[in-house]
Amino acid sequence: MDINPIKIKGLIMHVPYFSGVQRSESEIRLINDKLIPLHKNDTMWALSLPKGSDRDHVYCNPMVSNMIYGDKIGKLPRCFINGNGGDPLIDKQKELVKILEEHGVHVVQHFVEDGFHAIELFDKAKAMVFCEIVKKFVDDTIAS
């Protein structure tokens, strides 16, 4: 698809949502998370993936995406990825950062130990920090 004259210079992935059949340490540690407990996470994926698929589908598991699309991943623009230590998905978010960096993608990452999935919706101070970090990413991306 040709989208000229639009040029995508950066991607913002705010607490990206990934999983896999093999449970990550953070999924196990936070199995009863109040916002996205493991059974609800599994239900979300069951409703989202093509019929008959499991969580090792290319849409869900970044490791599978890497195996299938590895050669194309390096063509992505700068990426911003953030996450919080109390999010059951944080291990997959960090895994995604590694994959992107291994393929030469410039990644700006912001991970903090406190907080939970989408804390910015509930904590105004965290939302303000998030907005400032995203603004800096956008400004830096435009300038580059």
- For residue 68, the model assigns a pLDDT of 83
105 in helix, strand or coil?
A: coil
- In this structure, is the dihedral angle defined by the CA atoms of residues 95, 98, 104 and 105, taken in order, positive or negative? positive
How far apart are alpha carbons 16 and 117 in whole angstroms? 10
Alpha carbons within 13 angstroms on the beta-carbon side of residue 122 total 6
What is the model's pLDDT at position 6?
Answer: 87
Residue 38 pLDDT:
96
pLDDT value of residue 1: 65
**pLDDT tens-digit readout, 15-71:** 999 999 999 999 999 999 999 999 999 999 999 999 999 999 999 998 898 788 888
CATH code of the region 10-143 = 3.40.50.1820
Residues 27/55, Cβ–Cβ less than 8 Å: no
Is residue 15 within 8 A of residue 88, CB to CB? The reply is: no
In the chain, pLDDT over 70 holds for what percent of residues?
99
What is the per-residue pLDDT across 63-110, written as a single tens digit (0 to 9) for each? 898 788 888 899 999 999 999 999 999 999 999 999 999 999 999 999
